[in-house]
Amino acid sequence: MGKCVSDFDKRMGIPEVSTERIKFHPVTETPFELTGFPWFNEERLFRRLPVSPAEKLPEGVDFLANCTAGGKIRFSTNSKRILIRGRRGEFDITDTMPYTARGGFDIYVGEPGKEQFFSVMRANPENTEFVCSLAELPDAAWRTYTVYFPLYKQVISVEIGLEEDAQITIPPPLQTPPVAVYGTSITQGGCASRPGMCYTNILSRRLRRHILNFGFSGSGRGEPEVARILASLPDVSLYLLDFEPNAGDNYANLLPPFIREIRKQKPLVPILVLTRYQYTKYPVPENQLANNRKAVEEMQDAHLYFMDGTDILGPDGAECLVDGIHATDLAFYRMADALEPELEKILKKK
């Protein structure tokens, strides 16, 4: 067998991990804060939609609901070492998205609004079971951590490993209620380099608020049955609708019935409609943008807002794309830059 890069640069290889003097804790128990899975208490699954809803889900949505985009674990500890152990779905191949984002976890350190990226899980993509290091700290100071779940992978079980003599407490709270974001592969996080760089996770840190990710790759198409499930969430501060890339020139037709389904259960919750950014091969048609805006304006809803996303990536937007459509980290960062003030403005009106 031929040589590979890790033969010459050991930091490119998967490191060995020692579990000596480490105690593993289920993240489903206090004092860990587990969010991103609204039906977890009833079903005990890391899944974004209920397993058996009143109405049958579209096949793609039902499958992709098992992907854990937007899930996160928060906790405070004085442990110098933090490990992660768990089991995830089967390996699958993609040519445009790193496996650190597709099937890995990453960790941030810091209080709400001050989180800084620290490390990403390193494991063989083909292994469904893993034990990995997330952090090695120089001292036993108290710190708050946020661990993000994979964006495009099912997670069956997960535990956090801490030093045997370390303490752990409930983390400082984030603002409630959460924001719910519904959309496409881009919403789900394609193609970030790691989970924390999905724009919904960036916004969660900046807004100091939980954000529920309902991005369904290629399958978020504005179906009314999905709208009814999202409307059934017990407490939401704002809905962000970002599904134009899957709806195409039918977005203006799908928006009103989707919004009306939400309004039946959430008449006063703000809704922000976002249109798509420019692709390199498929520019946004002017008439399509005008039709989308008109569809929102004609609903005459005082709590309904419209945001033109055409130039959200800036004048060099093509440099932000991995395949001419899907977002790199740079694109997600710019999306968050544009969305943050809009969301702040709307949330302050409540």
Each domain of the chain, given as residue ranges in start order, spans 19-58+68-169, 175-349
Distance CA 88, CA 171 (A): 26
Tokens, residue 21: 């003097």
Positions of the chain with pLDDT lower than 70, given as ranges? 1, 350
Measuring CA to CA, which residue among 268, 294, 275 is closest to residue 349? 268
**pLDDT tens across 266-290, in order?**
999 999 999 999 999 888 888 999 9
- Coil, strand or helix at 250: helix
Q: To 5 degrees, how large is the angle CA 275–CA 278–CA 282?
A: 110
d(CA 142, CA 39): 31
3-state secondary structure of 307: strand
339: left (phi over 0), alpha (psi -120 to 50) or beta: alpha
- Taken as a whole, the chain contains a residue count of 350
pLDDT for residue 281: 85
Do 19-58+68-169 and 175-349 come out as alike in CATH topology? no
Is residue 94 helix, strand or coil?
A: coil
pLDDT at 248: 84
CATH topology of domain 19-58+68-169: Jelly Rolls (2.60.120)
Secondary structure class of 239 (helix, strand, coil): strand
Residue 350: per-residue pLDDT? 65
**Helix or strand (DSSP H, E) at 80:** none
Contact in structure between 73 and 82 (CB atoms under 8 Å): no
What sections of 160-223 are H helices per DSSP? 185-188, 199-207
pLDDT reported for residue 1: 57
H or E, element range at 311: none
281 contacts: CB under 8 Å, gap ≥ 6: 324, 325
Q: What is the pLDDT of residue 12?
A: 76
211 and 177 Cβ atoms separated by less than 8 Å: no
When the candidates are 3.20.19.10, 3.40.50.1110, 2.170.190.11, 3.30.470.10, the CATH number that belongs to 175-349 is: 3.40.50.1110
Q: Helix H segments across 40-164?
A: 40-43, 59-64, 99-102
Read off the tokens for 183: 């959309």
User: How far is Cα 37 from Cα 205, in angstroms, rounded to an integer?
Assistant: 18
Angle (CA) 21 22 23, round 5°: 125
Give the C-alpha separation, 23 to 83, whole Å.
9
